[in-house]
Amino acid sequence: GENVEQHPSTLSVQEGDSAVIKCTYSDSASNYFPWYKQELGKRPQLIIDIRSNVGEKKDQRIAVTLNKTAKHFSLHITETQPEDSAVYFCAASLGTLIQGAQKLVFGQGTRLTINP
């Protein structure tokens, strides 16, 4: 089955700097890669996702890159702000637009702290 590894487990950056979180996956058939943000005591919320037919996707200060050959994908947050402090989870799944979502296999999470 799919296995997702996420690094680093903790990350501390100065406000305004960039943060990068990396994930690797094992199943080359995986084709959907979302990133979730989970603030303390709150539900995970999708912040960005990418499909295997795209190499990069950007949404304002957040971007995700995917390298299918190497089976890894990364989250990039630029101009970090205190409200970016949270736990971030990457995930991988076999999803089809016909059948809908398949199960997500999550990484272990990265606790990001933005220092003012």
Partner 1 sequence: EAEVAQSPRYKITEKSQAVAFWCDPISGHATLYWYRQILGQGPELLVQFQDESVVDDSQLPKDRFSAERLKGVDSTLKIQPAELGDSAMYLCASSQEGNNEQFFGPGTRLTVL
In one letter, which amino acid is 77? I
Q: Looking at beta carbons only, is 78 or 113 nearer to partner 1?
A: 113
Is residue 48 within 8 A of residue 61, CB to CB? The reply is no
CB atoms within 10 A of CB 77: 25
Q: Looking at beta carbons only, is 90 or 114 nearer to partner 1?
A: 90
12, 26, 81, 108: which one contacts partner 1 (CB under 8 A)?
108
For 14-27, the DSSP string reads ETTS-EEEEEEES-
**Does 6 contact partner 1 by CB under 8 A?**
yes
CA of residue 113 relative to chain centroid, distance: 16
Rounded least distance, CB 84 to partner 1, Å: 19
Rounded least distance, CB 10 to partner 1, Å: 11
The footprint of partner 1 on residues 14-53 (CB under 8 A) is 32, 34, 36, 42-46, 49
Q: State the Cα–Cα distance between residues 41 and 37, nearest whole angstrom.
A: 12
CB atoms within 10 A of CB 91: 23
Which residues form the interface with partner 1 (CB under 8 A)? 4, 6, 32, 34, 36, 42-46, 49, 89, 91, 93, 95, 97-98, 100-109
